[in-house]
Structure 1
Amino acid sequence: MRILLVGHTRFAIGAPFAGGLESATWHLADRLAADGHDVTVFAAPGSDCGPAVRVINPVAPWPPSRSVESLGSGDHLEVHHAYLELMLRLQRDDPFDVVHNHSLHYLPIALSGLLDVPVLTTLHTPPIAWMESALQLAPPQGQYTCAVSEFTASAWNHVVDAEVVHNGVDTAVWRPGPGGDDLVWSGRMVPEKAPHLAIEIARRAGRVLHLAGPISDRRYFAERVQPLLGGPIRYAGHLAEDALAELVGQCAAALVTPAWDEPFGLVAAEAMACGTPVVAFARGGLPEIVDGESGVTVPAGDLEAAAAAVDAVHALSRSRVRRRAERHFSVQQMTKSYLRTYRRMVLGGNDFAAAGARQDSA
């Protein structure tokens, strides 16, 4: 199949990944290409998806505008311009069988009716107003949706019915590790991921904690994380994927401490692929990812329960933890699920619910 994956233009797609969305898009492109499909990715400049994947960038820069812009300016207009240019280009010259939208932008949805090929949008986040509007108003013909978890699908069900396709991790990179006594936390250093709470959990549990990830919010890091570093609390930096997998595999447990409703929880799946059990706040999609054989979920913000769970998960079988990731959250499983969806879209199968606005029965 000829497949276009539409990424976003905020961060380049390439290792080390800025976040879970970039990782999921890159690995899907890589696996589809390895399976023999013709894959193109639309993404920010600097993106690199490997030699088997063609990357196209926004080509028409946003010219300086003299208008008074009431809906935002600067980056907002540049992003709008990039997706408008892409969709109009596809209308003129559409060499694909499927367009798969991961962009978090409304235009690929709103303008999907311009194209002669089906468009699949994966919902990676809680509802976004601009995307809600597009899903309600765009013609449903040829438009389909998936969500990364049951939780996320439910959050969007007031506007659209979405199938669930869980994100996947590369289990060849995230390999089983020997474990150890230390704890690990990985992700973007931002308030909603709350690494400062992981530090408090580690202190209460009396364990060394390794933090890893990009400093996406420098003010937050400087005020809430950096003053707590030192001694048993260590910041490893923004590691390459293989180095991070090695670190995670050498730890007793991974802490996942979101201060928001995590749509999926890729870091939990990554840890599980290393055989490292997870202690997570039960928010968003995380209770779908972490079961009783792969970790423990505790009430959101309950630091005492999380600290107590560190000892509890140490008794779990690391091979069983790994097995759950292989069966449910691998790149191979994600790709198979999307390929089934692509084929039904192309064939127009009646068993697939096309995305469409649903009228409020009230």
Structure 2
Amino acid sequence: MLHRPLKLLLLSTSVGALGTGLGGGVELTLLNVAQELLRRGHTLKIVAPQGSVLGDIPIIEIAGELQTTAQTQGRSAPIVMPENSVLGNMWDYARQVQADYDLIFNIAYDWLPFYLTPFFNRAIAHFVSMGSLSTAMDRIVEQIAGQFPGTVGVYTLTQAETFPSPSQYRILGSGLDLSLYQFSPEPSSALAWVGRIAPEKGLEDAVAAAKITGIPLKILGKMQDDAYWKQICQDYPDAPVEYAGFFSTSELQQHLGNCRALLMTPRWVEAFGNVVIEALACGVPVISYSRGGPTEIIQDGKTGFLVEPDSVAGLVEAIGRIDQLDRYTCRQQAEAEYSLEALGDRMEEWFRDILQN
């Protein structure tokens, strides 16, 4: 869609090194966007915290103290940066090299990049990876969206609607390299739950549903809050659950594809839910609370079930109907709507529009 190759500088999240899982779905989005842009002939570099690895994509590693994740703080929390902040160091690097690039792409949910935007000479495309979590972030995001129209993108309309003026945001969705996900027509009896193990993900509801149904639950993801996990184990000592760990894409899809269904139990508004389309790509239907991004992905009664938020009884009832769903239909939806090609088209069109304004 763009008439010439671009030189792009991609700035990652500041809450953890790429490859550790601390960035959640942002890591997968960044990898997929970068790979597709490279495939299309653009050149790029990624700026990320020290120790980052993202396939064979070139990374500028920046030292410094990591930023605290926004979801662990309250709405009225002040903006805080640690001493020798990796976030500050990443954006100081970007300022120094900005003349070498056509466009800067920011995928971090951080206040500083938005504040700095008017002081840069290069256009900055901000991809907001979460819904509204903080009054201070809402204000700065809204300010930049108004001052630089069309430069702030989000995953879904549901996510955009958590901010004051949703029509200002570009809806970009997500996508996967579907060749990495094997369709699995014959699953085991187990269910899956995938994500960071942290309170906003509501894992205890999936564990409760597993205990009620007696169906094994395989838990996959980054152990972010050990005390939270220990409390779940204490509250449900007899639940048939197994924590398998955090896996790369190739290992994850093998575990996930072997499960009857994926449970999603978010307490907050998920901006998208990359794991939903990962499951669909494996042919795994998804049972999710009707909250946030999954409501725009799951075809209720066809590729999964949307149930009342925070209702364990709703999860249990939907688990009892899993065999009504066709796994091949799940894979077909992933192929039709969430390919890397479709994501690349949307990203290129967005960049073109920003550079032409």
Structure 1 residue 341 and structure 2 residue 347: aligned?
no
Q: Please point out which of 58, 82, 86 is paired with 1:75.
A: 82
Structure 1 residue 187 and structure 2 residue 187: aligned?
no
Q: Please point out which of 55, 58, 64 is paired with 2:59.
A: 55
- The answer to whether the 8 Å contact 2:108/2:128 transfers is no
Cα distance in 2 for partners of 1:39, 1:289 equals 30
Cα gap change, 1:73 to 1:259, in 2 (>3 Å)? closer
What letter corresponds to residue 170 of structure 2 in structure 1? E
3-state secondary structure, aligned to 1:146: strand
Cα gap change, 1:194 to 1:142, in 2 (>3 Å)? closer
What is the RMSD of the two structures over their aligned residues, measured on CA atoms? 2.6
Q: Please point out which of 303, 319, 322 is paired with 1:313.
A: 322
3-state secondary structure, aligned to 1:104: coil
Deviations 1:233-271 (A, max 9, x none): 211111222111111111111111112221211221111
The residue that corresponds to 1:135 in the other structure is: 141
Cα distance in 2 for partners of 1:122, 1:156 equals 14
Cα distance in 2 for partners of 1:98, 1:130 equals 26
How far is 1:17 from its partner?
Answer: 6.7
Cα distance in 2 for partners of 1:105, 1:82 equals 13
Cα gap change, 1:8 to 1:97, in 2 (>3 Å)? same
How far is 1:16 from its partner?
Answer: 5.7
The residue that corresponds to 1:353 in the other structure is: none
How far is 1:275 from its partner?
Answer: 0.6
* Alignment map for 1:179-328 (pairs within 5 Å): 179-225=187-233, 228=236, 232-292=240-300, 293-328=302-337
What letter corresponds to residue 129 of structure 2 in structure 1? H
* Alignment map for 1:21-40 (pairs within 5 Å): 21-40=26-45
Cα distance in 1 for partners of 2:78, 2:239 equals 47
Unaligned runs of 5+ in 2: 1-5, 67-76
Structure 1 residue 19 and structure 2 residue 24: aligned?
yes
TM-score, normalised relative to structure 1: 0.85
What letter corresponds to residue 86 of structure 1 in structure 2? Y
- The answer to whether the 8 Å contact 1:16/1:241 transfers is no
The residue that corresponds to 1:154 in the other structure is: 161
How far is 1:146 from its partner?
Answer: 1.0
Cα distance in 1 for partners of 2:170, 2:322 equals 32
Deviations 1:285-341 (A, max 9, x none): 221111122100000111112111113232211111111112222333222211111
Cα gap change, 1:135 to 1:195, in 2 (>3 Å)? closer
* Alignment map for 1:49-128 (pairs within 5 Å): 49-51=54-56, 53-58=57-62, 75=82, 78-90=85-97, 93-127=98-132, 128=134
Unaligned runs of 5+ in 1: 63-69, 349-362
Q: More displaced, 78-87 or 258-267?
A: 78-87
Task: Report the number of matched residues.
Answer: 338
Structure 1 residue 331 and structure 2 residue 331: aligned?
no
3-state secondary structure, aligned to 1:116: coil
Cα gap change, 1:37 to 1:25, in 2 (>3 Å)? same
Cα gap change, 1:220 to 1:60, in 2 (>3 Å)? closer
Cα gap change, 1:227 to 1:173, in 2 (>3 Å)? farther
